Amino acid sequence: MSRDAMTRQMQTGQGFIAALDQSGGSTPKALRLYGVPETAYATEAEMFDLIHAMRARIATAPGFTGDKVIGAILFEMTMEREIAGKPAASYLWEEKGVVPFLKIDKGLEAPANGVQMLKPIPGLDALLDRAVAHGIFGTKERSVILGADVGGIADIVAQQMDLGLAVLAKGLIPILEPEVDINAPDKSAAEQMLLAALLKGLDRVPAGRQVMLKLTIPDQADLYAPLIAHPAVMRVVALSGGYSRDDACARLAQNPGMIASFSRALTEGLSADQSDADFNTALTAAIDAIHAASTS
């Protein structure tokens, strides 16, 4: 029953997805923004302990509930840990009503043909089996489009779809994330190419099945309306991509039907030094702002 309830929440829930999935490469920056300098830890293990404490503080905050945060994307190590004495994914769904997803990508290849493809994912089958065992609903996999190269964009969508079909075969829902770099000089043209490639790629989704898409907020408002309406798409969510929270929310509000899946824009203004009261107030304000933009 819980999986059916998760599906209903992802299809129709009025809210957004929190991206709590910073990996080894992005964790030091996330901690610095949280007020934790690199001098505060000596080993990678200590670094991951600190970022887990930040994630757990967010997840256990009073304002972090499924009423507005309908899902959350976890880093693999977070899935393997506990929050408030329960396995992380179980805590999110059972205590907060937040649908758990898992980041499965292992980083990016070097730029080529205007894109950065996904690196290989060793042990993908076993990782997906572990995700199922932990009660994870779906996965997320990020690659990056750097410019309007039609061949590169076709390649990146094909790779995303290949991986998405492997995820679907395990009974999980993939969030395909071909991010368009917000600093691309031809961002608008790249987004037009991406739309065409995705509409073609979605023909590969088996009848009656659905994927999700995580995309950069487009320059042209409502560009992705055909994807939002597509029967093979459960939800289209937006990454903040380096935009400030205010900017990301203003842009998102121009795209009805697209909901947020923010990381930096969610944690902006949070600090390890804040009292719990101040932290919870700041987080609730962020959640309210992002929720409003996602439901406008």
Catalytic residue among 68, 103, 140, 214: 214
For residue 226, give the H/E element and its range.
helix 225-228
Q: Per 3-state DSSP, what percentage of the chain is helix, strand, and coil (rounded to 5)?
A: 45, 20, 35
Q: Residue 144 — left, alpha, or beta (φ > 0 → left; ψ -120 to 50 → alpha)? A: beta
Strand partners, 112: 115
Exposed / middle / buried, residue 191 (Cβ in 10 Å: 0-12, 13-18, 19+): buried
- At 124 the three-state DSSP class reads helix
The three-state (H, E, C) secondary structure of 176-209, written as one string: EEEEECCCCCCHHHHHHHHHHHHHHHHHHCCCCC
Does the annotation count 200 as an active-site position? no
Give the HSE-up count for residue 131: Cα atoms under 13 Å, Cβ half-sphere: 28
- At 117 the three-state DSSP class reads coil
- Number of neighbours of residue 283 by Cβ within 10 angstroms: 21
- Number of neighbours of residue 85 by Cβ within 10 angstroms: 6
Distance CA 185, CA 7 (A): 38
Catalytic residue among 68, 140, 177, 187: 177
Write the DSSP symbol of residue 113: T
Does the annotation count 268 as an active-site position? no
- Of 163, 201, 212, give the one whose Cα is nearest residue 11: 212
Give catalytic residue positions.
Answer: 177, 214
